């Protein structure tokens, strides 16, 4: 839900392009909201993730937070949405029946 709100705000941002400070503030706010949503998704997926997946999720979340603060917040917001989708797929595995052992 937060990712969708962040995306909507991201698409509405060009109207604020006249004031660079306001644009930067808005982009940081959007990025922060998207990152928070991704963090929630990663947290929910952690119990179902394999060890290497947990490490990758954590590393990507850390990178997104850094990009949001010091890099390009628009790119970071898009990456946050992608990370949330990956986390959701991992969490969804919990609902799948386990294959019978041979």
Q: Is the pLDDT of residue 53 over 90?
A: yes
**pLDDT confidence band for 95 (50 / 70 / 90):** confident
Are 79 and 71 within 8 A, CB to CB? no
Q: Is the pLDDT of residue 78 over 60?
A: yes
User: CB-based contacts of 88: which residues, under 8 Å, 6+ apart?
Assistant: 41, 45
Place of tokens 């705000």: 9
What share of the chain in percent tops pLDDT 70? 76
Instruction: State residue 31's pLDDT score.
Output: 92
Residue (of 57, 62, 3) closest to 33 by Cα position: 3
Query: What are φ and ψ of residue 11, in 5° steps?
Result: -70, -25
Q: Which residue has the higher pLDDT, 3 or 93?
A: 93
Per-domain residue ranges of the chain? 2-91
Is the full-model pTM beyond 0.85? no
């Amino acid at each position: 839900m937060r990712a969708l709100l962040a995306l909507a705000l991201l698409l509405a941002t060009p109207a604020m392009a006249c004031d660079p400070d306001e644009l930067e503030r808005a982009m940081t706010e959007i990025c922060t909201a998207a990152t928070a949503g991704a963090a929630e998704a990663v947290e929910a997926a952690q119990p179902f993730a394999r060890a290497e997946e947990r490490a990758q999720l954590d590393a990507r979340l850390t990178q997104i937070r850094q990009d949001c603060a010091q890099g390009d917040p628009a790119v970071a917001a898009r990456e946050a949405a992608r990370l949330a989708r990956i986390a959701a797929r991992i969490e969804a595995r919990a609902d799948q029946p386990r294959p019978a052992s041979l």
